[in-house]
Structure 1
Amino acid sequence: MKILHLNSYYIDNHLYAQLFTVLNADVEQRVYIPIKMDREPENEVKLNQLELVFEKIIKPFHKYNYFGKIRKLFHSIRLKRFYEDVNYIHAHNLFTDGALAYKLKKKYNINYIVAVRTTDIGLQYRLMWHRRFLIHRVLKNADCVVFISNTYRDKLFAMMPKSIIEEIKHKVQVIPNGIDDLWLTNLKKPIAKPLKKEVKLLYVGQIIKRKNLLLLIDAIQQLNKKTKHNFTLTIVGPENSSEAEYYKQFLELTNTLPWIDYKGKIKAGETLLHVYRDCDIFVMPSKNELFGLVYIEALSQGKPVLYASGEGIDGYLKNYDVGQAVDPDDSANIAEGINTIVNNYKNYTDFDDVVLPFNWNNIAKVYKKLYVRNE
């Protein structure tokens, strides 16, 4: 079997390379990756059954000419005959990859599954009304529509016509992303004891506005003034050149607070694992988060988590006692959430049921069954 992956977000997300690596044992794969003219290929992996096809093709005006972009990408796929000897298509987002998969099915009768990302919902579907007619066709013609959480399925369905939902709901499947084997082979249980006076908080993620890091810092300042505990915050995250003013504000604030340790970027690996192990609570009240595998990484090391209510991770974690959901726009509620975790710390005993489903080998088996069943 040979799969054509349509993956316009490949270079910005390392998760895909992990999935393709696991699938490589049983599936031949070609991955079409359209990128902006000023970008270079990234996340390149060399496997015996994997062909990565990067194409510098997306120009600045395509941001304002969606249908022109789709026509150009489709023409390139046809011209270079990337669809040849392919048994099945896996489209990794809805508005670009899904639209291309739909056009390939209509032209060459190749079946496909399509995944729905958070930007497909919160930005594209919510605001780009003129594109919806095409996207409804994409969804209706797909063999399977994949969401990584029930929350994002419900968010999209809340905006869609009921007639479309009735047509597609039977083929919706929720399949999470996986975490690196490093975390699963080094699982650590929670300490299941009350915390001492010093409480070590950890944030791992980009230093961008929607992550609510400045609001988190304000919440911790409140806690240090009002509670008996001394809270410290370790921050791991790269420099943010796209939001330069926000990043400057972040640096100015953190330089004035001795209880913050900003470590900059730390690559995934043993060093980052020990950073997780050295903390008591993982805190990231982020909005518009696709899912947030950092929460699962933290839980794999026995650390309870603070996260935003109503986001993808909330839909998954709300059935488990692993931390606290908070209003990400309310620093007082964030502070209250952290305090709740501290007061209940001894009750956190085992996170295995939450973490173990995020195994790439098991996830790849689900996808392979979908490929074979729908081929």
Structure 2
Amino acid sequence: MISVKEAKSLIQEHIVPMPLHPMPLALAAGFTLGKDIYAKIDIPAYEQSSMDGYAIRYDERSLPLTISGEMQAGAEEQFTLLPEHAARIFTGAPLPQGADTVVMQEKVEVNDGVLTVLDEQLSPGIHVRQKGAEAQAGALAMQKGSKLTPAALGFLAGIGVTEVEVCLHPSVAIIVTGKELQTPGEELAFGQVYESNSYSLAAALELAQVTKINFYSADDDLNELTVVLKEALSMNDVVLLTGGVSVGDYDFVLSASRATGVRQIFHKIRQKPGKPLFFGKTDKHVVFGLPGNPSSVLSCFYQYVLPALEKMMDYRSGLLEEGQFTGSLKTREAVLTHEYTKGAGLTHFLKANFNDGNVTPLSAQESFRMSSFAQANCMIELPEGETEFPAGSVVKVYIFPE
């Protein structure tokens, strides 16, 4: 068995980003920008009013100013403001030549076409958006690795971008193994349990912006699992298997992986839950063999699969912790509200609730129990070498993505 830190480092070492692909800006939400974007022109391309009011020369603010002309947003012609004159101007309109300041319309007095400025706090250049204030021609506008959020797409559209190079999202196969599994809603026979892992994994994948998900199932049979795994590898970039990853008589994930050309990187981590975790690769595919117990599956997904997927999507905004990519699963330090005791030798991941700097471990920590996971908003990591954690201890927590 290897340590949690070693496992994360090995995954980091073997995961590479997906290929880049051109995509219309309107379809790029949730993807990661694959190349730096440079502004082609100044944005705004001209000095622009940020307020409805009057354009003036600041040095003439104490003089009576004759109102001449008007500038609207979208004005097609420029004009020059004569000395001791002011121009009516609206938000987004180009500033007349010669003007350098805009006075809010609420802070002037107009009588018979003559403007008097009443703003004692007026400063030079106020309410004027400078040319290139948003983006300067030739300057870096958005860096490679940026997540294309709604705000990012709006910014890029605002500087005239119509298409971006993005890192493709992987397609993911979920293979559920186990003869005892029954579809939710069907009647349970003796010895059966409802299958839930595909539901939690699919939901977690969708929250991570992975939408190409294919589902498979296989009984506890080596030949059947080998056929299913071979098919999943032929159609997907990543394969997640649940169950059958230990060393029991009916655990065939390791054998099926070898039979389909998957190279083992590691198997088994000194952790609880999720000790029998498998990670392997082919030249083009990534394979995770997750435990079968529902709580173990989701714990391992958050700690290992999610950061791997986000690195494949080139999601650079994840934190780097001790050289490891953590993706959207943000870490915090928190104060433990209740004491906790564990055995030495395994890192423990506890379902918990984080609130205002404090964290409380929940009951029902067993690997088959999902009731507490459904209430948790974070996971506590307790190092393998320590056993006693008194109330008031500072511990590391991982906040679940929403």
| TM-score past 0.5 threshold | no
**TM-score (structure 2 length as normaliser):** 0.28
The structure richer in helix per residue is 1
**TM-score (structure 1 length as normaliser):** 0.29
The structure richer in strand per residue is 2
Larger Rg: 2
